[in-house]
Chain A
Amino acid sequence: QQQVKQSPQSLIVQKGGISIINCAYENTAFDYFPWYQQFPGKGPALLIAIRPDVSEKKEGRFTISFNKSAKQFSLHIMDSQPGDSATYFCAAPDGTASKLTFGTGTRLQVTL
């Protein structure tokens, strides 16, 4: 069964700063590695995802970096904004690839 370790558990960043969240997985990579974003009182929603055949994917201020040999991937939020304050989950496919194993989540707070 896929295991995913996510760090840090919580993060406080000043507005305009860079937020970095890390994840490590144990088993062999499959199709893709997604990041989900969850605002208080809402369900998680897909933020960005990366395929294991590329080392980086950028969408606006959000970038995923992927290191296949180290079995690690990270989320970078550039120019962090108060509206980015949320809980972020990384995930890795498990076996059938439709079943995801989620990390324990990182609660990000962006201060003014």
Chain B
Amino acid sequence: DADVTQTPRNRITKTGKRIMLECSQTKGHDRMYWYRQDPGLGLQLIYYSFDVKDINKGEISDGYSVSRQAQAKFSLSLESAIPNQTALYFCATSDRRDRLLTGLETQYFGPGTRLLVL
């Protein structure tokens, strides 16, 4: 979805380096999420934010941190990258008002960032 953008799209880094993945959205949604996708493991939630002042850990937050700089921006940092963090990372957004209007809250995903840690 072009309304949710992620930068960079591809990144190669070395073990021990700190890197940041960025997500921006123009959908005006209040909720944002970071997922990690590994073959055979599906989508695992790293962190999520229901508004600018609300940050929550997901199921696999160890080794990651996030920053919600504005309603439209949500960044994911790997403090000290390790090869085990090689994966495809997705940002997603949703609007809490969706459930009031339609009964379900759709998550809209960005195109993903492919990260390789050597």
Q: Is the interface of A mostly helix, strand, loop or mixed?
A: loop
* Contact across chains for B111 and A99 when beta carbons are under 8 A apart: no
With known contacts A99-B48, A104-B41, A104-B42, A46–B106 Cβ distance under 8 A? yes
- Contact partner of B59 (CB less than 8 A), chosen from A1, A32, A46, A97, is A1
Does B1 belong to the interface (CB within 8 Å)? yes
Chain B contacts for A51, CB-based, 8 A: 103-104
Given contacts A31-B103, A43-B110, contact A102 B42 (CB under 8 A): yes
Contact of B106 with A43 in the complex, beta carbons under 8 Å: no
Is B90 an interface residue when CB atoms closer than 8 A count as contact? yes
Determine which of A31, A41, A89, A98 lies in contact with B96 in the assembled complex, contact meaning CB atoms within 8 Å: A98
Please state if B111 and A31 are interface contacts (CB–CB under 8 Å).
Answer: no
Inter-chain CA distance A42–B110, complex, in Å, is 8
Chain B nearest Cβ from A106, distance in angstroms: 10
- Given A9-B40, A45-B1, 15 extra CB contacts under 8 A: A31-B99, A31-B103, A44-B90, A46-B106, A51-B104, A89-B42, A89-B43, A97-B105, A98-B96, A98-B99, A98-B105, A100-B45, A101-B45, A103-B42, A105-B40
